Amino acid sequence: MSSADRMEWTMNLIHAFLNGSNFQSEEIGAHRVKPLRDPVGELVFELLENVVRVDMKSPNPITTQLPMVSSPVPVLSCICLYLLVVRLWSAHIRSSRQEPRKEDPLALRCLVIVHNLFLCILSLFMAVGFIVAARFYGYKRIWGNEYVEREPAMNLLVYAFYISKLYEFMDTAIMLFRRNLRQATYLHLYHHTTISIIWWIICYRVPGADAYFSAAVNSGIHVAMYFYYLLAAIVGGDEKRKRKYLFWGKYLTMMQMLQFLSFIGQAIYAIYRPEFYPKGFGRMLFVYSCSLLAFFGNFFVKKYRRPRQTKTVTKEE
Ligand SMILES: CC(C)(COP(=O)(O)OP(=O)(O)OC[C@H]1O[C@@H](n2cnc3c(N)ncnc32)[C@H](O)[C@@H]1OP(=O)(O)O)[C@@H](O)C(=O)NCCC(=O)NCCSC(=O)CC(=O)O
């Protein structure tokens, strides 16, 4: 094999991995290789069809041409790797009894600021993009827009949104770099792993119509959330400054819960009007949004309500 052939073979193999089974029976370079099978992908499709009962039969012709969409293997690999790294890293922090950092090194501080600024701007771009695309494709309602296979701008935005969910794994890395295990909660890990699967499913099957609603609302909320984290990174550990600049965290959590309520509303609408969105997606959205609402409700009570209750009890005593 010449070096040019070898290079082409390698590039095709990477492409085949990123795109899963679509490329499995293709000729790789000048050398026909045995078709790779995608048993994990097949199993996931079986599960989605028969257990979750979402109809995955007509993949979107635009998004499935893009990396990491046509098979669930790449997204599942990223999630497994993510969970493994988080598990090992947090075990290391615990076993070596490292305390959360009081003051971040300059490089880490800059990384956190750039990361949050980037996600704040990207979220703003996507929120505005979804609204503009919805108007461009003539969506008449907030919910209940008919799904059309080819809406390239909308499809690409949903794809960007899905990929951004994978990039958000960096949030956990930031928590661990700062040795801040307090933040690496079940809620955080549950949210980061499941949201990327949910958006892979949507990106594969229905990257348009009412998908725009949850993506636009979530992007809007993320503008505020990453702005909050950006401020937190700039303010640093000073408690007085935190109280002054981050007092609105509570209202942000409330907005996140309102967001999940709006998704529950959308899901109920989709369940009763299945002509707009493929069967099963409403049910999936309903169960998923309820789980997030429960997690955030619990977070809200623990973070914002318990301390006050303790104070009252102490006063009464
Ligand atoms: C107010 C919240 C936005 C954040 O709650 P927190 O408890 O994390 O807030 P906090 O006040 O401790 O955050 C400040 C601390 O975060 C650090 N910090 C800065 N940037 C960060 C980043 N990108 N990711 C994680 N932490 C970061 C700061 O340095 C600071 O550390 P220090 O305190 O040490 O100085 C809340 O509503 C929330 O979302 N809670 C769930 C936690 C979570 O994982 N959220 C993100 C994914 S859920 C999501 O995204 C839902 C959605 O889609 O809406």
Structure confidence by residue, pLDDT tens digits, 42-69? 899 999 988 888 888 889 999 999 999 9
Q: How far is CA 27 from CA 9, 11, 22, 36, 60, in A?
A: 9, 12, 12, 11, 24
123 in helix, strand or coil?
helix
Protein residue closest via CA to atom 30 of ligand 1:
232
Q: Do 282 and 271 touch, CB atoms closer than 8 A?
A: yes
Protein residue closest via CA to atom 20 of ligand 1:
229
pLDDT digits 0-9 by tens, 152-176: 999 999 999 999 999 999 999 999 9
Q: What is the predicted pLDDT for the residue at 98?
A: 86
Q: Is the dihedral angle over the CA atoms 298, 304, 307, 309 positive or is it negative?
A: negative
Q: Does the C-beta of 289 come closer than 6 Å to ligand 1?
A: no
Mean pLDDT of the chain: 87
Place of tokens 């990453």: 226
Q: State the average pLDDT over residues 30-38.
A: 57
Active-site residue 31, yes or no? no
167 C-alpha vs ligand 1 centroid, how far in Å?
16
Largest Cα separation within the chain, whole Å, is 83
Q: Do 19 and 71 touch, CB atoms closer than 8 A?
A: yes
